Amino acid sequence: MTRKLFGTDGIRGRANQFPMTADLVLQLGAAAGRHFRRDGSAAHRVVIGKDTRLSGYMFENALTAGLTSTGMNVLLLGPVPTPAVGMMVRSMRADAGVMISASHNQHSDNGIKFFGPDGFKLSDEDEVTIETSLEEEIRPADAENIGRAKRIDDGLYRYVERVKSTFPGKLRLDGLKVVVDCANGAAYKAAPAVLWELGAEVIPIGVEPNGTNINKGCGSTDTSLAAKAVVDHGADVAVCLDGDADRVMILDENGRVADGDQIMALFAARWAEEERLSGGTLVATVMSNLGLERYLGAKNLTLHRTSVGDRYVVEAMRAGGFNLGGEQSGHIVMTDYATTGDGLLAGLQFLAEMKRTGQPASTLAQRFEPVPQLLKNVRYEQGHQPLEAALVQDAIQSAEALLSGKGRLLIRKSGTEPLIRVMAECEDDGLLNQVVDDVIKAVEAA
């Protein structure tokens, strides 16, 4: 069986439309409860976190009802970053964790991400099992074994202390003026607190969530507000997170953006110097820039590429025993510290390099010259298969022929939105635009 509900990062969609409806999420909670219960006893628990979307209240209650109906005890964290759920699953010795979030998507979307008892996101096989359970009758617990729900008031602050503990003990952020953009999302309390407690002068933006402004004109997907704040306040650097704070973009003192590739290049080189980059390898996806691969190769380091999705990066890291990976989009995974991408943790590591070296963000954030890369998206209606159309296949073959020996073309469906993503790399800007536009026009026509 293939997955129908789960994409590259859990289940995601528009709130109150299939699959993100309250009744389906309730059934999903019950199916997950049955999947994670090891035996018939009542000593089972699941940790639930969420971001700041209005629909989070609805889905939190639906999940709680489904899970407790099968005998799972639910521990509610409230608004916390996604990596806090992975951390708390292990800390609380829970059987599973759930994050209610659509990450960088607009507020009208929401999603469900599952974590196993080890704090890592579920495998494809586990997701298929849960989907299969939805098609079967799910036996509820006996009345005396219905689960309980309890709110964990200090979960956020446990996460704050954990993230602070990863910052080098001999360093402080005194003297650094840091803009932190929390995207009106899950880290709106945690990120400013961590930076201030470590000594930085903090300029917080995107810290007034109202349920509908998450990721709106702010955060890692729209850094214009942070760039203006850096210049206006004469800040040294900006740390821009997304709605659930598992992604980060770094802005230097001039407001210039460093994406995940540049951040990973910095960390990989530094860790290699310290002989703590496992296997001399960085794990990234097929979307990462060719310039990153060349940069690592010049240092006798390896770039191991995976399918798109931080979950696939983590799976490759675990399989190969590697400890650093991520995505161009800003997921930075450091398994020495966390089980999933953590934007705040990665931001702290960048700030630590600024303090350790005394170099400005503009020097540290541009490790290599990227090969020109163009990415465009086409939205399509659910149920359509535009990539299967003959005119699209013809356009792809023509584009690949034009790029042969000069660059590369990558076309894929988004795993989180109904989008076709068309990306090409080529040092000839004219050719780059031509091949991407030709494929985009074909997809639109289909």
Cα distance between residue 142 and residue 378, in whole Å: 49
Cα distance between residue 75 and residue 160, in whole Å: 18
Amino acid (1-letter code) at residue 43: A
Phi then psi for 142, rounded to 5 degrees? -65, 155
> Could you tell me which residues come within 8 angstroms of residue 104 by beta carbon, excluding any fewer than 6 positions away?
183, 215, 219, 220, 221, 242, 243, 247, 329
If we measure between CA atoms, which residue out of 3, 7, 226 comes closest to residue 134?
3
If we measure between CA atoms, which residue out of 245, 102, 236, 94 comes closest to residue 163?
245
Point out which residues pair with 17 in neighbouring strands. 20
Cα distance between residue 81 and residue 105, in whole Å: 15
* 266-to-137, 277, 354, 366, 397 alpha-carbon distances in Å: 51, 12, 11, 8, 36
Q: Where are the alpha helices (DSSP H) in 341-428?
A: 343-357, 361-364, 390-403
Cα distance between residue 34 and residue 137, in whole Å: 11
Q: Count CB neighbours of 23 within 10 A.
A: 10
Phi-psi region of 98 (alpha: psi -120 to 50; beta: other; left: phi over 0): beta
Amino acid (1-letter code) at residue 72: M
**DSSP H or E segment with residue 251:** strand 248-251
Q: What angle do CA 204, 208, 213 make, to 5 degrees?
A: 115
Question: Which residues are catalytically annotated?
Answer: 103
